[in-house]
C-alpha cells in the first residue's frame, strides 16, 4: 500500500511524530521539576482537606498548542481532508462515471430490439410511476404515451395546446385547427413531414418554421416528432404540463438510455 503518497497521511504522520516528541520533552521536564523544585505562586483561598491549589497562569506551551489545534481544525475543515482530498463519495462518483462511459461505448450501436428491451427496463423504473405500467398515463396523471408520438398525439396537442418544455416561444395555444384540417396536418407531422405539405400547415409554420425545425430553437423541432430524438429533447427539458410536472432527466439518464426509453415508448404508439 502506497499510503505515503497521500499528503493527508503524510501530514498525520508528521503530526503524530511532533506530538510524541513534545510529550516526551514536556513529561521529562515536569518529572525533573517535581523531583528538584518546590511549587511557587499564589495559593487559592479554598482548600480540600488541607490540599490547596496554586493560581498559576496557563503554561504558554499548552496555550499555544490549544490555539494551534483550533487553527489546524479550521484548516482541516475548510481546505484539508474533507473537501479537498480523497472521499468515498468522490471515488463512487468516479467509478460510476467510468462505468457510464463503458456503458455508452458498449451500446453505442445497439439495434432497435436491444434498445427497446433496454428502454422497457428504464421505463418501468423511471417512468411507470407516473405514466403507468402500460404507458396510458393512469387516467390523466401524466401524458398518455400510447398515443403520444403518433398522429393521434399531434392531434391531441393541436386540440389541447402544449406548454412547459421551456422554449422561448412559450406556450402553444389550444385549438389552432380542427376537423379534417387538424387530421391532415397531424398525419403530415407524425409522418416526419415528408411529401407534399398541406396548405393548413401555414398555421403551424408561424412558430415552428416552414420546415418545422423550430426556427433555431424558438419552438420544438417537430420534424423529428415521433422519433427517439424528440423524446430525448423532452427528457432533457422536463415538462411543466397542464396536468403536472415532469422533471428533466438530463444527467439522470445517459444519452443511450434516453434513446432506448424513447424507442420503447414510441413502440407503444407505433406498434413496433
Ligand atoms: C404560437 C406558436 C405556435 C404555433 C402557431 C404552433 N405551435 Fe406547436 N408548439 C409551440 C411551442 C412553443 C411548443 C412547445 C410547447 C411546450 O412547451 O410544451 C410547441 C409544441 C408542439 C408539439 C410538441 C408537443 C409535444 O407533445 O411535445 C407539436 C407536435 C406541435 N407543437 C405541433 C404543432 C402544429 C401541428 C401546429 C399547427 C397546427 C403548431 N404546433 C402550431 C408553438 C406553436
Ligand atoms: C413525476 C412524474 C413523471 C415521471 C417520473 C415521468 N413523467 Fe413524463 N410526463 C409527466 C407529466 C406530468 C407530463 C406532462 C403531461 C401534460 O402536460 O399533458 C409528462 C409528459 C411526458 C411526455 C410528453 C411530452 C410532451 O411534450 O408532450 C413524454 C414523451 C414523457 N413524459 C416521457 C417520459 C419518460 C420516457 C419518462 C421516464 C424516463 C417519464 N416521462 C417520466 C410526468 C412524469
Task: Indicate which ligand has the atom closest to the C-alpha of 128.
Answer: 2
What pLDDT, in 10s, does the model give residues 148-185?
999 999 999 999 999 999 999 999 999 999 999 999 99
For residue 9, is pLDDT > 90?
A: no
- Report percent pLDDT > 90 for the chain: 75
Model confidence at 110, in pLDDT bands (50, 70, 90)? very high
Q: Which residue has the cell 403520444?
A: 148
Do residues 266 and 135 touch, judged by C-beta distance below 8 A? no
Q: What is the pLDDT of residues 25-54, one digit of tens each?
A: 999 998 998 888 777 788 888 888 988 888
- What pLDDT is recorded for position 8? 85
The radius of gyration computed from the CA coordinates of the chain, to the nearest angstrom, equals 35
Residues near ligand 1 with C-beta < 6 Å? Answer: 154, 157-158, 162-165, 167, 169-170, 172, 176-177, 185, 189, 203-204, 206-208, 219-220, 222, 225, 234
Residues in the chain: 272
CA separation for the pair 122, 108 (Å, rounded): 17
- What's the CA gap between 193 and 186, in Å, rounded? 10
Distance 137 CA to ligand 2 centre (A): 9
Query: Quick one: pLDDT band at residue 263, thresholds 50, 70, 90?
Result: very high
Query: From residue 222, how far is each of 33, 201, 249, 263 by CA, in Å?
Result: 90, 12, 20, 17
> What pLDDT band is residue 3 in, cutting at 50, 70 and 90?
confident
Nearest residue (by CA) to ligand 1, atom 34, is 204
Q: Which ligand is nearest to the CA of 212?
A: 1
Distance in Å, CA 133 to ligand 1 centroid:
27
Contact status, residue 203 vs residue 188, Cβ threshold 8 Å? no
Tell me how far apart the alpha carbons of residues 109 and 116 are, in angstroms, rounded to a whole number. 13
User: How much is the pLDDT for 183?
Assistant: 95
Amino acid at each position: 500500500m502506497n499510503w505515503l503518497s497521500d499528503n493527508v497521511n503524510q501530514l498525520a504522520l508528521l503530526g503524530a511524530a511532533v506530538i510524541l516528541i513534545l510529550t516526551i520533552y514536556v513529561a521529562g521536564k515536569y518529572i525533573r521539576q517535581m523531583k528538584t523544585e518546590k511549587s511557587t505562586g499564589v495559593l487559592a483561598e479554598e482548600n480540600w482537606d488541607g490540599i490547596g491549589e496554586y493560581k498559576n497562569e496557563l503554561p504558554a506551551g499548552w496555550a499555544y498548542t490549544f490555539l494551534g489545534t483550533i487553527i489546524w481544525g479550521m484548516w482541516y475543515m475548510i481546505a484539508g481532508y474533507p473537501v479537498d482530498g480523497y472521499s468515498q463519495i468522490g471515488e463512487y462518483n468516479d467509478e460510476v462515471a467510468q462505468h457510464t462511459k463503458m456503458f455508452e461505448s458498449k451500446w453505442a450501436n445497439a439495434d432497435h430490439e436491444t434498445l427497446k428491451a433496454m428502454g422497457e427496463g428504464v421505463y418501468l423504473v423511471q417512468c411507470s410511476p407516473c405514466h403507468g405500467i402500460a404507458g396510458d398515463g393512469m387516467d390523466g396523471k401524466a401524458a398518455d404515451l400510447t398515443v403520444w408520438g403518433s398522429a393521434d398525439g399531434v392531434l391531441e396537442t393541436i386540440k389541447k395546446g402544449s406548454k412547459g418544455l421551456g422554449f422561448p416561444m412559450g406556450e402553444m395555444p389550444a385549438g389552432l385547427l380542427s376537423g379534417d384540417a387538424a387530421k391532415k396536418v397531424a398525419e403530415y407531422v407524425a409522418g416526419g413531414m415528408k411529401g407534399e405539405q398541406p396548405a393548413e400547415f401555414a398555421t403551424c409554420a408561424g412558430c415552428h418554421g416552414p420546415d418545422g425545425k423550430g426556427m433555431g430553437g424558438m419552438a420544438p423541432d417537430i420534424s423529428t416528432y415521433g422519433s427517439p430524438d424528440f423524446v430525448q429533447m423532452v427528457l432533457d427539458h422536463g415538462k411543466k404540463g397542464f396536468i403536472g410536472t415532469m422533471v428533466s432527466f438530463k444527467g439522470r439518464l445517459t444519452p443511450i438510455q434516453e434513446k432506448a426509453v424513447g424507442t420503447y415508448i414510441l413502440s407503444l404508439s407505433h406498434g413496433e
